[in-house]
Structure 1
Amino acid sequence: MSISISGKIPTGSIEVVDEHDAANLQLRLLRDPGDDHLAIGYYHFRASGIRGQSCTYRILDVAEDASARLAGREGYEDGWTNTGPHASYDLKHWFRIPATLEGRDYVFSHVPEHDVCYYARWAPYPPQREMDFIARCQRSPRVSLSTFGRSGLGADLDLMTIGTPGPGKKACWIISRQHPSETMSGYFVEGAVERLLDEHDPIVTSLLQRAVFYVVPNINPDGTQLGHTRANGLGYNLNREWVAPSLERSPEVFHTQALMKKLGVDFCIDCHGDEELRCVFLGGPLEIPSRSEHLDTLFKTFERAWNAASPDYELGHPYPGGSPAEADLRMAWNWIAEEYNCLSVLLEQPFKDTSWWQDPIQGWSPERATRLGRELPTAVHGVLDQLR
């Protein structure tokens, strides 16, 4: 049987250049529409007819096409060094394959045990899994589901409300998948929500007596379906749209801001992933124009509470390249902190692994992302009474 490679799968993304020689399978990354110079790097594809063959995959021109980096990262290892793709035969268990940069190309080899194998920069979070998860959660009496708007291409924007709103209750938000390729956010949300629905968990019971959680499990459904790295379906990076969102460019942010204005915000976590860092990293409201000692103390208290709950959140990792003098309010966590004078944090999970504990089989994995999410309620519980 001949080898066949395809990115025409749910959340798939790759250009097939040459699939005729197992020893030299040539591929190319696809760039998102729009002008974001960082909006390339995600890949997810299916290879069939490969059982027992020594396959070498060569993603061409990565060193040129995907060499752009965020400012201040010169002292950090880039996202293509000392890592490799996740691979899976069943789309459930993902394992890591080592890869190297050879000149301009990103190269990895694999002898598959089965006829079909999936490869991705990091384990995908399938749309069907997201739909099943949301549908399953509505069985809980703690959950109500609603649609609060539509994306640029007409997809529903889902809101999960966990707990019962009432006078004096804190409004705690979880936002996920602004950048669709950062799929660890989906697993993180699963872990957080599953714990919030545990009726036998005393920390959760205490939280929901005093707070309501508003969860946007996927703020960028179009980018997810299209296999984008960072853009929505209209070609815009949602995490640069928070100062002036519009229905023409970023309806997903526009509708989220309108909902926040209606419901209020006392806490927010915006969930992302980082291709270069070897840690779980948090950014806080420390450089916004209305920065204060209270917010600084609150952020540090939250950090310590999460570190105590899970060693996977390590203390002591500085802002990459040094903290900016002023926060970029186009980014969700900064805009929300400034607008609502609240604890709003950025969560970055690694594509690679943590520095304190390396998993040689999976690296940072869906399982660890889910477990990290399960510890979020503990960290929030540690600061809840201090939020206002």
Structure 2
Amino acid sequence: MPDLKISTDFEGGSVEALDCRDPGAIRLALKPDGRSPDLQWFHFRLHGAKGRDCRITFENSDRLARLAGRDEIPDCWTGYRPVASHDGAEWLRVGADYRDGIFSIVDRPLHDSVDYAYFAPYPLARHRALVDRARRSPRVAHDVLGLTPDGHPIDRLTFGRAGQGRRRLWIMARQHPSETMGGWFLEGLVDRLLDPADPVAAGLREAAVIHIVPTANPDGCARGHTRTNALGMNLNRAWADPAATDAPEVAAIRDAMEAEGVDFCLDVHGDEELPYNFLGGPLEIPSRNEGLRRRFVDFMRGLEAASPDYVRRHPYPGGAPEAADLRMAWNWIAERFGCLTVLLEMPFKDQIDVPDARYGWSPQRSARLGRAMLDPIAAALPGLR
């Protein structure tokens, strides 16, 4: 039988191989984000295991921190199954085992080389292809808000032109690089905005100027980080004071928002524990008011009508916090600009309301939700101010 090998020498690769001599007892460890203790993302390639029963155990999978107020819901590994692909195109859910706090992948590969990942990767090459596709359209302007510490551009796509009465919309994803569903979501949304025959997209392009930052943390994406940039900073905890020395990505996006103004912002994320799509609004910021609450409720209703993959009845675990954390983008932006902001969290697990045993929550469903998101955004336009 061929020797087993584990490799991670590719974009987004992340895992530490401890022992891969026995296919039934492969031992791995999740890797922290460089100088940060954050860890959860994994993406690795297993060679030489075709037709062999494999158990791949993450020996430090019991060390993951949980957010406050979530003790009553299952942790990230409960009910979760990882994804695998032999061609990088189709990602299928595979078997898993979780006992005594330790998580294992259980699979019998059908190919000599198989990739396993926490969620289907969204490579920077695909991001660049999306940007190039948009740049070719006369409906889109492209610029670079700044460069990251590793030299990656922070791309912005702008639909529509600023003018009197036009609402200023901002949409961004992948502050946390492991939340790759955000890339797939933005691809679906951008492709619909590019469609010249779509009346909703045409109306938005005419009535608003839409600024889109598809990949806010390209360094973390390339390095295979879970939540941080190249400097070890969690960007979604840097908005209140984004020093260029540790969060230049946030500083660049904030400067652009200050220059252009903001009437609405959608910040796209993924949640490791929740088995459903969840929306958060600016309901706890210091300047909260009834108008903001009403506009957010209307937005939730609009998305529920537009997509079967969003159901309003799921509450946030632990209930709303007493006060908003203004280090987070959606809270800081709402407070600074007095506007409606929406946090979208998509699941790493299967979607509990419309489950799919083969794919779970997937790139395709993320993209479809991105396309559907234009409907509640369009409906919200008249009441944004």
| TM-score, length basis structure 2 | 0.98
Instruction: Please report how far the alpha carbon of residue 47 of structure 1 lies from its aligned counterpart in structure 2 after TM superposition.
Output: 0.9
Amino acid paired to 2:192: R
Distance 1:241 1:367 in 2: 31
Q: Decide whether the 8 Å contact of 1:86 with 1:121 is kept in 2.
A: yes
Runs of 4+ in 1 over 4 A off after TM superposition: none
Cα distance in 2 between the residues matched to 1:208 and 1:155: 28
Aligned to 1:83: 80
Whether the 8 Å CA contact 2:80–2:350 is kept in 1: the answer is: no
1:146 aligned counterpart, secondary structure = strand
Which residue number corresponds to residue 6 of structure 1? Answer: 7
Q: Does 1:285 align with 2:282?
A: yes
Q: Which residue of 2 aligns with 1:197?
A: 194
Give the 5 Å matches for 1:1-388: 1-35=2-36, 39-63=38-62, 65-66=63-64, 68-388=65-385
Output one character per residue of 1:82-141: Cα deviation in whole Å (capped at 9) or x when no partner. Answer: 112111111111111121223342112211111111000111111111111211221111
After alignment, is 178-187 or 16-25 more displaced?
16-25
**Residues 302-325 of structure 1, C-alpha deviation per residue, up to 9 Å, x if partnerless?**
110111000111112222211011
Confirm or deny: 8 A CA contact 1:82 1:98 kept in the other structure.
no
Q: CA deviation at 1:293?
A: 0.5
**Counterpart contact for 2:47–2:112, Cα < 8 Å:** yes
SS of the residue 1:123 aligns to = coil
| Structure 2 counterpart SS, 1:158 | strand
* Aligned 8 A contact 1:310 1:375 in 2: yes
Give the match's secondary structure for 2:11: coil
Distance across 2 between alignment mates of 1:169 and 1:246:
31
Amino acid at match of 1:54: D
3-state SS, counterpart of residue 316 of structure 2: coil
Secondary structure at 1:375 match in 2:
helix
Deviation, 1:361, is 0.7
Q: What amino acid is the match of 1:11?
A: G
Q: Aligned partners of 2:230 and 2:255: how far apart in 1?
A: 20
- Deviation at residue 44 of structure 1 after TM alignment: 0.4
* Equivalent-residue separation in structure 2 for 1:111 and 1:214 (angstroms): 45
State the superposition RMSD in angstroms.
Answer: 1.1
2:40 counterpart letter in structure 1: G
Q: Distance in 2 between matches of 1:291 and 1:152?
A: 36
Count residues in correspondence: 384
User: What amino acid sits opposite 2:60 in the alignment?
Assistant: D
> How many Å separate the matches in 2 of 1:44 and 1:178?
18
- Unmatched 5+ residue regions in structure 2? none
- CA drift of 1:387 comes to 0.2
CA–CA separation in structure 1 for the residues paired with 2:140 and 2:47: 41
Unmatched tracts of structure 1, length 5 or more: none
C-alpha contact (below 8 Å) 1:60/1:104 kept by paired residues: no
CA-CA distance at 1:53 after TM superposition: 1.4
- CA offsets 1:191-230 (integer angstroms, 9 cap, x no match): 0000001110111111111101100011101110110000
Residue 353 of structure 1, CA deviation: 2.0
Conserved? CA contact 1:83–1:98, under 8 Å: no
Matching residue's letter, 1:115: D
Secondary structure of 1:349 counterpart: strand
Give the % identical residues. Answer: 46
Provide the rounded CA distance (Å) in 2 between the counterparts of 1:379 and 1:34.
40
- The secondary structure found in structure 2 opposite 1:382 is helix
Contact 2:61 2:102 in 1 (8 A): yes
8 Å CA contact 1:245, 1:251 repeated in 2: yes
The amino acid of 1:261's aligned partner reads: E
Distance in 2 between residues matched to 1:376 and 1:108, nearest whole Å: 34
In the TM superposition, residue 146 of structure 1 has moved relative to its aligned partner by 0.6
- Distance in 2 separating the partners of 1:364 and 1:13: 22
Identify which range, 367-376 or 92-101, moves more after superposition. Answer: 92-101
Give, in angstroms, the shift of residue 61 of structure 1. Answer: 2.5
Preserved CA contact (<8 Å) 2:91 2:120: yes
Q: In structure 2, how many angstroms separate the alpha carbons of the residues matched to 1:99 and 1:275?
A: 15
